[in-house]
Structure 1
Amino acid sequence: MKVKISEIANLPTKYGNFKIQCFKENHKEHLVIFTQNLPEIPVVRVHSECLTGDTLGSKKCDCGEQLEFALKYIAKNGGMVIYLRQEGRNIGLLNKVNAYALQDKGFDTIEANHQLGFSADERTYEMVEYILNHFNIKKIKLLTNNPKKIESLKDIQIVERIPVKVEPNPHNKDYLKIKKEKMGHLL
């Protein structure tokens, strides 16, 4: 895997003071946001990009709330957020908006992806192990509800899974139901 790695910079945020580093893999630039003093076994959140949820505050998903929960938790407990540029479960922004339009017509998130010719979830997690190896991290406490993320980290020991707790709203309750019932999320 050919990856370019940026320098480390300071990132003061409303959640706390972090460090930030970029890992460029082909055309995707992933971010790592981490606390200055990483514990021996850090808390790690693997978060896939969601422009509508993370930046625009969309209520159709729980992504923005999960990212906020993770940043607060990691600022307090030490660790990192690995922010993967895999918009819309890695179908891209244009296809994600098309999937939203199909959801407006009654399809659930998985059905919408299938209508567009994609699997339920196109994301991959090889970059996570690359980043953790770069930081010489072999054991983590994984902040996730997604069993696919747990299964994907084959060479990293997960000593604990920490659930991400966010409150559903009227706009995402069906979305969360699909994540639990069809994708096996631990909600």
Structure 2
Amino acid sequence: MTTTHQNQIKDHSPVRFIASCRLPTQWGEFTMYGFEDVRNRQEHIALTVGNIASGEAVLGRIHSECLTGDALFSKRCDCGPQLEAAMKAVQHEGCGVIVYLRQEGRGIGLLNKICAYKLQDEGMDTVEANLALGLPVDARDFSLAKEILDYLGVQSIQLMTNNPQKVATLKALGINVTNRVPLHVGQNPENQQYLHTKMEKMGHFTN
């Protein structure tokens, strides 16, 4: 099920392809690709299913790492359920891509996220906590996603996200986002304020 790539990463690209392998999961088998940001040695991956280099708009997600949600099953956010739903969706579609970028806590890092969580425990919301720590509300860099998608031969994408700013950012980077696919999962009593803040202060869609 390895994808045939039409493009190769250019010499001046900050991304270096390392290797690919099979990744069997409870939802089906993916091909996993490993990439390295040559500027800081940060590691990123992509998961693919089917022929994503056909020229058709493929179902996909650009997912930023959330150790607490993705691996530790935290209920403070909806990240883990979104990743799981995206993996299920591309398997059900029979063709798709998930780019997994290692930019924890919207780019502020794990330890800073823990500090922000402490302030949230004391009554701040996620935006207020980041600003109180002197950190940006969202420090993510999606430029590497363009390099990875180009390497994989993805020409256009149906993007699974609730974040209109992500759509606009990816389009500005040259990624052809044909449409947005809502991804509303993982709501629970613990993350109601978090989801409300994302809607009210960060413009996330609720449908």
Shift of 1:2: 2.6
Separation in structure 1 between the aligned mates of residue 60 and residue 50 of structure 2, nearest angstrom = 14
The residue matched to 1:57 in structure 2 has which SS?
Answer: coil
The aligned runs of 1:137-148 (5 Å cut-off) are: 137-148=154-165
Normalising by structure 2, what TM-score? 0.87
Q: Which residue of 2 aligns with 1:164?
A: 183
Identity %: 47
Separation in structure 1 between the aligned mates of residue 14 and residue 157 of structure 2, nearest angstrom = 24
Shift of 1:119: 1.4
Instruction: Report if aligned partners of 2:15, 2:144 keep a CA contact under 8 Å in 1.
Output: no
Q: Which residue of 2 aligns with 1:126?
A: 143
Separation in structure 2 between the aligned mates of residue 167 and residue 71 of structure 1, nearest angstrom = 14
Which one has more relative contact order, counting CA pairs under 8 Å at least 6 apart? 2
Of 104, 111, 115, the match for 1:94: 111
2:73 aligned with 1:54: no
Q: Which residue of 2 aligns with 1:8?
A: 20
Q: Could you report, residue by residue, the CA deviation over 1:26-79 in whole angstroms, capped at 9, with x for unpaired residues?
A: 221111011133262211101000000000000000000100110000111111
Instruction: Report if aligned partners of 1:53, 1:61 keep a CA contact under 8 Å in 2.
Output: yes
Q: Which residue of 2 aligns with 1:72?
A: 88
Instruction: Report if aligned partners of 2:163, 2:204 keep a CA contact under 8 Å in 1.
Output: yes
Separation in structure 2 between the aligned mates of residue 100 and residue 60 of structure 1, nearest angstrom = 9
2:42 aligned with 1:23: no
Instruction: Report if aligned partners of 2:66, 2:80 keep a CA contact under 8 Å in 1.
Output: yes
What amino acid is aligned across from residue 149 of structure 1 in structure 2? K
What amino acid is aligned across from residue 94 of structure 1 in structure 2? L
The residue matched to 2:19 in structure 1 has which SS?
Answer: coil
Instruction: Report if aligned partners of 2:162, 2:183 keep a CA contact under 8 Å in 1.
Output: yes
Structure 1 unaligned regions, length at least 5: none
Aligned residue pairs: how many?
A: 187
What amino acid is aligned across from residue 135 of structure 2 in structure 1? F
What amino acid is aligned across from residue 168 of structure 2 in structure 1? E
- Aligned CA RMSD, in angstroms, stands at 1.1
2:102 aligned with 1:85: yes
2:96 aligned with 1:105: no
Normalising by structure 1, what TM-score? 0.96
Shift of 1:167: 4.2
Displaced runs of 4+ in structure 1, greater than 3 A?
none
Separation in structure 1 between the aligned mates of residue 204 and residue 42 of structure 2, nearest angstrom = 26
Q: Could you report, residue by residue, the CA deviation over 1:129-185 in whole angstroms, capped at 9, with x for unpaired residues?
A: 111111222211011111121011221221111000214111000000000010001
Separation in structure 1 between the aligned mates of residue 199 and residue 158 of structure 2, nearest angstrom = 21
